[in-house]
Amino acid sequence: MKRHYKVLIVGGGTAGITVGARLLRKLKVLRGEIAVIDPSDHHDYQPLWTLAGAGVVEKTKARRDMSSVIPTGADWIKKTVQSFDPEKNSLTTSDQNRLTYDYLVVAPGIQLNWEGVKGLTETLGKHHVCSNYSYEHVDYTWETIRNFKGGNAIFTHPNTPVKCGGAPQKIMYLAEEAFERAGIRSQTNVIFESANQAIFDVPKYRNVLEKVLQRKNIQAHFRRHLVEVDGEKKEAVFEDLETGKLISRSFDMLHVCPPMEAPTFIKNSVLADHSGYINVDKHTLQHVHYSNVFGLGDASHLPTSKTGAAIRKQAPVVAENIISLMRGYPLSAKYDGYTSCPVVTGYNKVVLAEFDYDKRPRETMPFNQAVERRSMYFLKKDLLPIIYWKGMLKGIM
C-alpha cells in the first residue's frame, strides 16, 4: 500500500471528486500521486432525491458505484479517516494506517443527526414519518404522499446548517400539488415548521416564495425547531426558538429534515473551528493555520448555502490554488460565496435562486429569475444531472 501522496483528498462526494478530476486534468504528472479516501460503495446525486420523493424519477437514477466516479489516475482508499496530524502532514485511517501528503483537501460532507430529534430514528419510515434526506427512506416519502387521505401534512426545517436548504420546502410544494391532483387538498392542512427567520434569506427570492405560500394556502411558522416525534400517537413537538416554549402538533404526515452537523472526525480535529466545521479562508479556501490544507463543500465553515452549485464554484478555486502553491505562486483564485438553489414550486415550476456571500442575486440567465418558470424545472430535472455526471465529476465544468 502506497504511504505518501502528493495530494490526499478526504471525501468521495461532489467536492472531493470534482477537485481530484480538475487537478488531474491540469497536471498529468499527478497521475498515481492523488488518492481519494472514502468508505462508501456508492456516489449519490442527492438533488434528485426531492423529485424521487415526489414520484417523478426513480431514486436509482441518482446513484452510481463509487468506483465509476473516482478520477482516472487517482487511487481509491476505501477507509474512513480517524485523525489528522497537519503538523506532520499526515492522517490516520480507520485501520490504523498512517498516510502522508504534500497537500490535503478535506471535503467529507455533512452528517445527518437523526438522533438529534427524540423518537425520530424509531419512527422514520413508518407511521407516515418520512424524509427525502435518506436514500433508504426516500421511497417512503412518495408512498406517504400518494396514499395520503387528508389532515395535517407537516414539513420541517431544523435549527442547524443543512445541505440544500431549499429541499425541505421543495417537497412541500410538490406534495401540495399532488394533494390537489388527488382531490384531497380541501381536506388537507399543509404546514411548514421552520427554524429560519423567513422562507428564504435573499429578499428578491423571498418575495416570490411568500407569494407561493399564499397561493398554495400553506401555513408557515418560523423560528420553530422539531425536538421530538411520537409516530404512534402522531404527535410532533417543536421548540419556539424565540420563547423557548414547546408546541405539540398532531400530524397525519410528517416530512422531516433532520438536524445536521460536521462529521465527528472533523469536529474532534485541529482542522475545525469553534463551530466544528473546517476552518478555511472564505475566499481562498485555504486553511487558516495550515497552508497546504484546503477545505470545501458542506464540511467547511463558509457563510453560504451548502449546495452542489456552490461546490461547482469552489472546486476550481481549490484546484487552482493548490497548483499555485506547487509552483510557488501567490494564491490568486478567489471564491465569492456563489451558490444556487433551484426551488421547485410544483411539478413543472422552479424559481432558480442564485446569490453570493452578501445575499446579492448572482443571476446567470438572461431574464428575471425571481419568477416560477417551466424552463428552469427542466433544467433542474433533465440538464443539471447531465452537467453533474458528465461535467463536474469529470473536472470540465
- Residues labelled catalytic: 164, 341
Q: Cell 438536524 identifies what position?
A: 259
3-state helix vs strand vs coil in the chain, percent to 5: 30, 30, 40
Please measure the distance between the N-terminal and C-terminal CA atoms of the chain and give it in whole angstroms.
32
Choose among 237, 221, 226, 258: nearest CA to 125: 258
CB 7 within 8 A of CB 30: yes
Rounded-to-integer distance, Cα 80 and Cα 294, Å: 18
Phi, psi of 158 (to 5 degrees): -80, 175
Q: Cell 486553511 identifies what position?
A: 287
- Residue 380 DSSP label: I
SS3 13: coil
Q: Residue 204: how many CA atoms within 13 Å on its side-chain side?
A: 17
Q: Cell 502522508 identifies what position?
A: 100
Contact partners, residue 192, CB within 8 Å, separation at least 6? 154, 155, 156, 157, 168, 169, 172, 199, 213, 218, 219, 220, 221
Rounded-to-integer distance, Cα 290 and Cα 287, Å: 5
SS3 297: coil
